[in-house]
Every structure is written in C-alpha cells, then in structure tokens.
Amino acid sequence: MSTVKPRIKLDKKEAKKGDLVEVKALVAHVMETGQRKSADGKVIPRKILNKFTCTVNGKEVFSADFEPAVSANPYIQFKFRANESGPVVLTWIDDDGSKIVGEDSIKVL
C-alpha cells in the first residue's frame, strides 16, 4: 500500500502568520465496508483507512477517525492556522496497520 501516492493541495504555499491554510487531500483506497457480499455469498472482509492525521512542523493540527460510511477514495478537506513554517505531513492508517503518507510544506512569512 505504500506505493499509493495521495494527492494533496494546499491553497497557498506561503502564508502570513495567523492566516488560514486550506488543505485538500484525496487518496486511492477501496474503503471496503465489510457489509458487502461477493457473488458466492461470502462477506467481503472490511478494509478501510480508519485514521487520518495532519501535522505541521511536527505538531498535530487536525485528525479524524473514519468509519466504513466514508466513501471509497476518501477525500478530506480542512484548514489550519499558519503559525510556523515546516513540512505538512498527512498520514492515513489502514485496517491492516499499513500507512499511506503524503507531504507538502508551508512557509510562514
């Protein structure tokens, strides 16, 4: 799963201190609910990304827990307040324990 590359977009590369920065991210994943049955009647086991976190310069600014009711190829959009420059790291955790990580950066003027 580590080969999956999330698409991340920040609405600005540089921000004044205190400005709000909007993050949009999309990651390819089946988000199998565990409710569906295959043609032979067996339940398809659940496999979703159950947790998402965003850190800016190592500090967590936003996180989320996902349930199977989140659509396939989960999209997430949120904002954070620009306090310091640094990497913006987005991490999704799969039910199987694997991680999908994407990175961008913000420069605070």
CB atoms within 10 A of CB 46: 14
Binding mask 76-95 for another protein (x = CB under 8 A): xxxxxx-x------------
Closest to another protein by CB, 5 or 79: 79
Residue 98 is a binding residue for another protein (CB under 8 A): no
What is the closest distance, in whole angstroms, from the C-beta atom of residue 3 to another protein in the complex?
23
What is the closest distance, in whole angstroms, from the C-beta atom of residue 64 to another protein in the complex?
5
Query: Which of 34, 57, 54, 56 has its CA nearest to residue 44?
Result: 34
Distances (CA, A) of 49 to 1, 7, 90, 104: 11, 15, 13, 20
What is the closest distance, in whole angstroms, from the C-beta atom of residue 7 to another protein in the complex?
14
Number of residues that bind another protein (CB under 8 A): 29
User: Do 56 and 95 touch, CB atoms closer than 8 A?
Assistant: no
Q: How far apart are CA 28 and CA 73, in angstroms?
A: 4
Residue 33 is a binding residue for another protein (CB under 8 A): yes
What is the token pair recorded at 100? 């999908």
Residue 5 is a binding residue for another protein (CB under 8 A): no
Binding site for another protein (CB under 8 A): 20, 33, 35-37, 56, 59-72, 74-81, 83
